[in-house]
Structure 1
Amino acid sequence: MSRHAVVTGAGSGIGHRVAVRFAGLGYQVTLVDINPALLSTAVQDCREAGADAARAVIADLGSPDGPENMITEAWSAAPVDVLVNSAGIYPATPFLSLDARSWDAVLNLNTRAPLLATVALAQRVVESQTANEPSRGASIVNISSGAALRARPGAAPYSTSKAALEMATKASALELGQYGIRVNAVAPGFVTVNSSTNPVTEEYAAAVSGNPLGRRGEPDDIARAVVWLAGDEAEWITGETLRVDGGSSTGAMNLPLHWAPQAGGEAGIGNS
């Protein structure tokens, strides 16, 4: 029987490509999104990639019961082996304009929803182990961001939500490992997704996409990493965040040399 992967935010961008890649590997795929039109197209793409059993679940994961209801519906089709928490929002909100509603909207979807979905899946996995499948486990991959390490103007809720998600990844991995449940995260650098939900200006994209490898990321760059981290080749990895960012987290690309090159000698090395 094929493995079952559930991917949230699967209507577009990174989530879409993650779902299609799992489909191409023979997984049964459940795609979750709040946008029915995008979800319908993504399901068709998965079926064309080889997942005849690809199915859609329309869900508002920012609501308190959304993650639990999603896992209930997905599990009713087949036990879930992989959960990828990719749904998220990235609104631009100046700090002085923040209020409880705007803060909660980001944290509820970006942090609370992956955590509650992880809890809901883990409960079912553990229940199945106490019945007839003691060896059943699961692999969970959360989609974080480079913003978890670097604050940026207008993104206080977003950066906080992703930093919290990385700690939630560690905390859940610590407690769930004994049940054969691995929990990891992938933190993309700037990825070109052309999202209508999370639009960014070209000025912003240019400012944050500099990296040692010299190009912007594509959704498939992230999808490859997610599928690997979720799979058997990474079976001894849990509680980790894999940064897939072209090297942008290694340091600052746009700073000048902090010394003046010296004529007649090696730059930056003084004479003794």
Structure 2
Amino acid sequence: MQFADEFKGKKVIVTGACGIMGGWIADGFREVGATLCLTDREQGKLDAMLAKQGSDGHIAIAADLRDAASIKAFADDVADAWGAPDVVVNNAGIYPSAFLLDMDIDDWDAVFDVNLRAPFLLSQLFARQMIAAGQGGSIVNISSGASRKMRTTVVPYCTSKTALDRLTKGFALELAEYGIRVNAVEPGFMAGSDVSPLSDDHVSAAIASIPLGRPSSPKDVVGAVLYLSSEAGAYVTGATLTVDGGNSIGTKAVYQAKKKAL
């Protein structure tokens, strides 16, 4: 398998591991031989996921990404168990929905705590560990096409992802001298989750508008994250890799209308 030899023995952190995207990313790294540290809010769910991953040295540590002290304790626990990680995937994110006129300040703060402040703190803490260990590394932030296209009812999410893209470039610039690369991946449309459910009509309409005609699959996101974490991507830093079936360049309906006009 591509990347298999390269990731054997590599230590990889995945935040938001119990979500759909986090599970895909964790499975992808496990399949190429990496050793995983999974984190999410609930230890019970993490333990169940860890049991599925097998007992090849993987660990699971619960952390509250809204709490700076919990994030610091998590980083310390990883250092005690592993030393410095080789790859950090900042995948955790939340997506509350409300119009700005109706949004509660606690919901606003939660979005920026999880989607922006947590990646900042985690990147800072683990980059310090990498530097102290005298090694390079890779940090991959999971962004969104919402960083470039505003959507009603989820303006805080869009704003947080725009800021995450800028944070990615800032860390890439400042960590380059230490051999630590920092990039982002913008996944394509997914058919919702228990946390952010979507109606069947919404899902059908969204898929119909994607130029490549299908939603994101596990291999799409995982392939991008693996590439950016690998030697194949060794000269890539500060980049945002869009993996969305062409959705960000225009919808299928708009493309077809223009084609007929020609």
Q: Are residue 53 (structure 1) and residue 57 (structure 2) matched?
A: yes
Q: Are residue 27 (structure 1) and residue 31 (structure 2) matched?
A: no
Are the aligned partners of 2:40 and 2:63 in contact in 1 as well (CA < 8 Å)? yes
Q: CA deviation at 1:101?
A: 1.2
Are the aligned partners of 1:67 and 1:114 in contact in 2 as well (CA < 8 Å)? no
Q: CA deviation at 1:198?
A: 2.3
Q: CA deviation at 1:112?
A: 0.7
Q: CA deviation at 1:124?
A: 1.3
Q: CA deviation at 1:65?
A: 2.3
1:121 is paired with a residue whose SS is helix
Q: CA deviation at 1:258?
A: 5.6
Q: CA deviation at 1:155?
A: 0.4
Are the aligned partners of 1:13 and 1:219 in contact in 2 as well (CA < 8 Å)? no
Residues 218-253 of structure 1, C-alpha deviations (whole Å, 9 max, x = no match): 233211211121111101000000001011011233
1:97 is paired with a residue whose SS is coil
1:96 is paired with a residue whose SS is coil
Residue identity (%)? 38
Equivalent-residue separation in structure 2 for 1:201 and 1:25 (angstroms): 35
Residue 257 of structure 2: aligned partner: 257
Where does the alignment leave 5 or more consecutive residues of structure 1 unmatched? Answer: 130-135, 262-266
1:91 is paired with a residue whose SS is coil
Indicate the RMSD between aligned Cα atoms, in angstroms: 1.8
Residue 5 of structure 1: aligned partner: 12
Equivalent-residue separation in structure 2 for 1:220 and 1:44 (angstroms): 22
Q: 1:23 to 1:254 in 2, by over 3 A?
A: same
Count the aligned residue pairs: 252
TM-score (norm 2): 0.90
Q: CA deviation at 1:125?
A: 1.5
Residue 105 of structure 2: aligned partner: 100
Residue 132 of structure 1: aligned partner: none
Are the aligned partners of 2:186 and 2:241 in contact in 1 as well (CA < 8 Å)? yes
Are the aligned partners of 1:143 and 1:185 in contact in 2 as well (CA < 8 Å)? yes
Q: CA deviation at 1:11?
A: 1.0
Equivalent-residue separation in structure 2 for 1:110 and 1:205 (angstroms): 24
Residues 195-224 of structure 1, C-alpha deviations (whole Å, 9 max, x = no match): 222222233333444211111112332112
Are the aligned partners of 1:18 and 1:224 in contact in 2 as well (CA < 8 Å)? no
1:178 is paired with a residue whose SS is helix
Equivalent-residue separation in structure 1 for 2:20 and 2:126 (angstroms): 24
Equivalent-residue separation in structure 1 for 2:79 and 2:23 (angstroms): 20
Q: 1:151 to 1:204 in 2, by over 3 A?
A: farther
Q: 1:75 to 1:207 in 2, by over 3 A?
A: farther
Q: 1:61 to 1:204 in 2, by over 3 A?
A: same
Q: Are residue 126 (structure 1) and residue 126 (structure 2) matched?
A: no
Where does the alignment leave 5 or more consecutive residues of structure 2 unmatched? Answer: 1-7
Equivalent-residue separation in structure 1 for 2:53 and 2:137 (angstroms): 21
Q: CA deviation at 1:71?
A: 1.8
Residue 189 of structure 1: aligned partner: 188
Residues 175-209 of structure 1, C-alpha deviations (whole Å, 9 max, x = no match): 000001000000012123x5222222233333444
Q: 1:207 to 1:158 in 2, by over 3 A?
A: farther
AA partner of residue 57 (structure 1): I
2:184 is paired with a residue whose SS is strand
